[in-house]
A and B are shown apart, each in its own frame.
Chain A
Amino acid sequence: MDAELIAMQLFSGVALGAILIMVALGLSIIFGMLGVVNFAHGALFMVGAYAGLWVASLTGSFWWGLLIAPVAIGAFGMLIERFLIRPLYKRSVDDPLLLTFGLGYVLVEAVRIIFGSDGIPFQTPPELSGVADLGIGFFPIYRLFVVAVVAVILLLLWLGLEKTKFGLIVRAGAKDPQIMRVLGIDISKVWLLVFGLGIGLTALGGVLAAPMRNVNPEMGSLVLAEAFVVTVIGGMGSLVGAIVAGLLVGVAISMTALFAPEMATIVMFALMALVLLVRPHGLFGKPVRG
């Protein structure tokens, strides 16, 4: 086993980590700010991919799909928050989880009805297809593009949360909604926007994944597992946690793929179980109320 291969494997792991961060981001934000565990995350990821595909086929350009689909699905997410999730805020934390679990079923089946149960081809946009020579090996240009997009999104999110007034309100609202009401800030509007943002990011993940993985109604079910693993290892609701955990899981999978490839999926769950047993609320999470 030469050094070049190990370096390449490490790089693949980091790139996979970036994709996993993208996959987990929406779930993490919605949990962190609203305390809602979105079991329909995988389904909305898939809906995002289909929406991107649909817009791209209408406009003839991947870029419009990448731009419009997340916004549209984000708006759809706001409808979900307004009419399905909001009535449940006063109830147990389990209720939104259960509702979104049912919602996942409905969305997957709805897509099967509209687009058929078979997958649909989604080509890599021509300007991003091909492989790049990294010196240590070859890597698809499209995957490099995804890594770059993820970096930009993370930067924007950090700026938005740390440097703007809206970010301040969101962070304060996540800590203590009561105070916000006292201060006369309509917290329900903030939550609506945050939920929409989370779902929009989930859909963006779907569109970005579409040219790499195939677009089919079941593509979200694996994504849900991946997103949970990353979010839970990082600590639910922690942005830094999601980033660290995504990279950690990506590298773990990649290194396992080198030495015991058939264990590459199981290692993800083993890592999650291990982290939770040592730190019951994840690497960067805060303890939650029972």
Chain B
Amino acid sequence: MTASTSSVAAVMSGPAGRRGWRARLTAWRVPLSILALCLLPWLLPSQALAVNVLIYGLVAVGYNLLFGYTGLLSFGHAAFFGTGAYATGIAIGQFGVPWYAAIALGILAGGALAFVIGLLSIRTRGIYFSMVTLALSQLVYYTALQASSWTGGENGLRGFTVAKLDLFGWTIDFLDPLKKYYVLMVFAVAALWLVSRILNSPFGAVLEAIRENETRARACGYDVERSKLISFTLSGLICALAGTLSALHLAIVPLDILHYHTSGMIVMMTLLGGAGSFFGPFIGALAFLLMEDVVSLWTSHWQIVVGGVFILFVLFLPKGIWGTALSWRAGR
């Protein structure tokens, strides 16, 4: 496990002197993330924004596993994010399931959908892959719109507000924004730790090999299809977890969560922060949401700013904020 990590790090970091710095950053990335996330609600303008950064950061991290590390551009990840949210909301609202079980159900539902959509879509390649994921996720969107007795249709799902969390005799006031943030953060951190483990494992190296050159990876004897499917499903599971957290946070599930605009936003955040890097997606989500929040208070034409910044990044900083910072540090 460690051998493959250091070999990847060695390939990526170039000059021998820099290797130690990169390796140390990799080793400490989970504790560093925890520290940053603990500070987040104190640094941002509002706690509601901090929770959103947490949730969208997690979606982007999940998405990055597929886009950044495996090189597959999915345009349908809203489906898993949304399914996680809907399953949690329905479990609590219609079946009275306890919140922790509802989270588990949400993750399972989103993961199961990711497995099915993954199975169907990895047969296609390149642009067609993006289009199939887009089409299948639109089907999920219209299904949710039609199944209004379950999902609330266009009005959105509601009626499952969790005001208090009960666990082992403890009761946490879930309407208190700070307590809510730290509870949700525990789940996000667990997911980050999992992603870090996956990336450090030999499987993580296989994914990067597929991204770099699929034909060569296949020639090396890797089961490319199976690896892609596992990556797709894991990515969907993490997005589904983010969805369940979003449902608990907002106490509603808006139908827009399944719209392809949400998928597009996930892509933008990941790219903005830096696809294929561990911290990138979170930084992208933070930058995107902060930009949107601040600019939309100043002008209702925030989209022109967000779109313009995105264009500049694609043109001049394709590695994103974090990726650029890393290569700048390494290049000095």
Query: Which chain B residues lie closer than 8 Å to A152 at the CB level?
Result: none
- Interchain nearest-CB distance for B131 vs A (Å): 5
State the CA gap A92–B322 with chains docked (Å).
19
A228-B131, A232-B131 known, 11 other contacts, Cβ within 8 Å: A84-B315, A88-B315, A93-B126, A95-B318, A102-B314, A109-B303, A272-B135, A273-B139, A277-B120, A288-B125, A288-B127
Query: Which chain B residues lie closer than 8 Å to A109 at the CB level?
Result: 301, 303-304, 307
- Interchain nearest-CB distance for B89 vs A (Å): 23
- Interchain nearest-CB distance for A41 vs B (Å): 13
- Interchain nearest-CB distance for B316 vs A (Å): 9
Contact indicator B128/A281 (Cβ below 8 Å): yes
B115-130 interface code vs A (CB 8 A; 1 in, 0 out): 0000010011111101
Q: Which of B138, B268, B301, B308 contacts A112 (CB 8 A)?
A: B301
Interface flag for B142 (CB, 8 Å): yes
Interface flag for B105 (CB, 8 Å): no
Closest B residue by C-beta to A235: B128
Interface flag for B311 (CB, 8 Å): yes
Query: Which chain B residues lie closer than 8 Å to A276 at the CB level?
Result: 124, 128, 131-132, 135
Give chain B interface residues in 279-301, CB to chain A under 8 Å: 301
State the CA gap A99–B303 with chains docked (Å).
14
Contact indicator B304/A113 (Cβ below 8 Å): yes
Q: Which residues of B are interface residues toward A (Cβ below 8 A)?
A: 73, 120, 123-128, 130-132, 134-136, 138-139, 142-143, 146, 214-215, 260, 264, 267-268, 271, 301, 303-304, 306-308, 310-311, 314-315, 318
Query: Which chain B residues lie closer than 8 Å to A228 at the CB level?
Result: 131, 134
Query: Which chain A residues lie closer than 8 Å to B314 at the CB level?
Result: 88, 95, 98-99, 102
- Interchain nearest-CB distance for A89 vs B (Å): 13
Q: Which of B126, B146, B308 contacts A288 (CB 8 A)?
A: B126
Q: Which residues of A are interface residues toward B (Cβ below 8 A)?
A: 31, 37, 84, 87-88, 91, 93-95, 97-99, 101-106, 108-110, 112-113, 225, 228-229, 232, 236, 262, 265-266, 269-270, 272-273, 276-277, 280-282, 287-290
Query: Which chain B residues lie closer than 8 Å to A87 at the CB level?
Result: 315
State the CA gap A113–B301 with chains docked (Å).
8
State the CA gap A272–B311 with chains docked (Å).
29
Closest A residue by C-beta to B311: A102
Q: A99-B315, A273-B135 are in contact. Are A290 and B130 (CB under 8 A)?
A: no
Contact indicator B124/A98 (Cβ below 8 Å): no
Closest A residue by C-beta to B316: A87
Query: Which chain B residues lie closer than 8 Å to A232 at the CB level?
Result: 128, 131, 135
